[in-house]
Amino acid sequence: MEGTMSRNSGDKVPTMVDVARRAGVSPSTVSYAMTGARPISEATRERIQQAMLDLGYRPNVFARGLKSKRSHIIAVLFPKDERGMNLGSMEYIFGASDHAQNRGYHLLLWTSGAEELDDLAGLAQQGLVDGALLMEVRLDEPRVEVLRNSELTFTMLGQTADPGDLDYVDTDFDQCARLAVTHLADQGHRHLGFVHQDAATIASGRGNAIRLRDGMLRAAQDVGVALTALTCQSHIAGGRKAFAELLTADPQATAVIAFNEQAVPGLMAAAVEHGWRIPEDFSVVSIDMPAQAALMTTPTMTTVGPVAAAMGKAATEMLIRRIEGQQLRGPSQALFDGELVARASSGPAPSTHRAVIHP
């Protein structure tokens, strides 16, 4: 397990001067060889490379940062209080982390709440990070102003109400809505429910819920099916309540699309207790539910959502380009298509009238 670059303990950490001496060049030449800021002859470059390898040289991050004002560290602003834990956010972060490492960047995890703006301002002004990835973006996002004021480069995962020229990567919720509605309509469902989040969350709110609901209504209209949209508290009881409300609002509903991970189990349980088998009598599709959660439900959940890791990667690349001053003309903004993963919770609409067993 001994690497070629292992050093005996007791050796001091080699500096650029050590490398320069060993390669028989000046320290500045070593530096230029690393940054590529000016041309170096092939021969010296190779000697330097070899010397670095021999010594197991790693540039000192602090010395570099002190002079260059670049840390090669990106902050991931992931307010923990926003939606509770959720696996989807983790997938973004892993996608971002992977790509950051490939590009020679580190990720600093910042979990302060979205309201703790002074903390954030402190981070931004400290110069520790070169840029930030903004997660859990709300329609009216107070962090944006803080980041702008401190002139920290950032990219959003999600959008504000009016992103203007801000960089972002987001899900194409219109397309997701269409995909989910079409999936169900194709299987004969004519009356759908859409269960999203509670009114306060939506209003407050991260933009997704609103954009998705609008997309749903539009898609239903285009496809020619009825759609009842319901708000719903993000817990099991909320899901039960939503099912009851759907039943009242549209007794003919044979399927529901949910954008509320926490409420789905309650929704399903209520359907089963009502005497409806899933998917034979009633289909359920979830928007943007991570695979791992989709496999926890019984039956496993059909989902529509983007590949979160790919979005995390894209956002990171966008941010790094911005940091490194490339691609400066105009904002970079990208929408990611969702994919349908058909699992066991959705199927053909019940052909005959369902037997409704009131327990």
Q: How far is the CB of 235 from a second copy (least distance, A)?
A: 7
Q: Which of a second copy, DNA, none does residue 40 bind to, with CB < 5 to 8 Å depending on kind?
A: DNA
Q: Which of residues 87-106 bind a second copy (CB under 8 A)?
A: 87, 90-91, 93-94, 97-98, 101, 106
Residue 73 Cβ vs DNA, minimum distance, rounded to whole Å: 14
Residue 37: exposure state from Cβ atoms within 10 A (0-12, 13-18, ≥19): exposed
- 141's contact among a second copy, DNA, none, with CB below 5 to 8 A by partner kind, is none
Using rule CB under 8 A, residue 65 touches a second copy: yes
Query: 41, 50, 125, 204: which one contacts a second copy (CB under 8 A)?
Result: 125
34 interacts with, out of DNA, a second copy, none, CB within 5 to 8 A per kind = DNA
**Nearest by Cα to 287 from 274, 265, 275, 304:** 304
The pairing of strands 153-157 and 191-195 is unpaired
List the one residue out of 199, 226, 344 whose CA is nearest residue 283.
Answer: 344
Give the integer Cα–Cα distance in Å for 21 and 17: 6
Binder of DNA out of 63, 161, 203, 244 (CB under 7 A): 63
Interface residue with DNA, options 26, 50, 101, 204 (CB under 7 A): 26
Residue 21: HSE in the Cβ half-sphere, 13 Å Cα cutoff: 7
Which of the ranges 40-48, 116-124, 166-174, 175-183 carries the binding residues for a second copy, by CB under 8 A? 116-124
Mapped onto helix, strand or coil, the DSSP state of residue 162 is coil
Of 202, 277, 190, the residue nearest 232 (C-alpha): 202
Which contacts of 216-224 are long-range, i.e. CB under 8 A and separated by 24 or more positions? 216/177, 216/180, 216/181, 216/257, 218/174, 218/177, 219/174, 219/177, 219/178, 219/180, 219/181, 219/182, 220/181, 220/192, 222/178, 223/178, 223/181, 223/182, 223/185, 224/185
Distance, CA of 323 to CA of 133 (rounded, Å): 12
- Tokens 């409806």 sit on residue: 276
Which residues 237-276 are close enough to bind a second copy by CB under 8 A?
A: 261-262, 264-265, 268-269, 272
Rounded to an integer, what distance in angstroms lies between the CA atom of residue 222 and that of residue 181?
A: 10
Choosing from 17, 35, 53, 118, the residue that interacts with a second copy (CB under 8 A) is 118
Task: Give the nearest distance from C-beta 118 to DNA in angstroms.
Answer: 19
For the bound state, the minimum distance from the C-beta of residue 148 to DNA, rounded and expressed in Å, comes to 22
Q: Which residue lies nearer to DNA by CB, 69 or 353?
A: 69
Kindly report the backbone phi and psi dihedral angles of residue 230, in degrees, each rounded to the nearest multiple of 5, phi listed first: -130, 140
Q: Which of 3, 10, 39, 224 binds DNA (CB under 7 A)?
A: 39
Structure tokens, 286: 């979830």
The DSSP bridge pattern shows strands 339-341 and 302-305 to be antiparallel
Task: Considering only the stretches 36-44, 249-257, 267-275, 318-326, report the one whose residues sit in contact with DNA under the rule CB under 7 A.
Answer: 36-44
> In the bound complex, what is the minimum distance in angstroms from residue 151's beta carbon to DNA?
15
Least distance (Å) from DNA to the CB of residue 329?
Answer: 23
Which of a second copy, DNA, none does residue 318 bind (CB under 5 to 8 Å by kind)? none
Question: Sign of torsion, CA 294 295 296 297?
Answer: positive
Q: Which residues contact DNA (rule: CB under 7 A)?
A: 13, 15-17, 24-29, 31-32, 34-35, 37-41, 43-45, 57, 59-60, 63-64, 66-68
Q: Which residues contact a second copy (rule: CB under 8 A)?
A: 1, 3, 5-6, 9, 13, 56, 58-66, 71, 73, 76, 80, 84-87, 90-91, 93-94, 97-98, 101, 106-112, 117-119, 121-122, 125-128, 142, 145-146, 149, 151, 235-236, 261-262, 264-265, 268-269, 272, 290, 292-293, 295-300
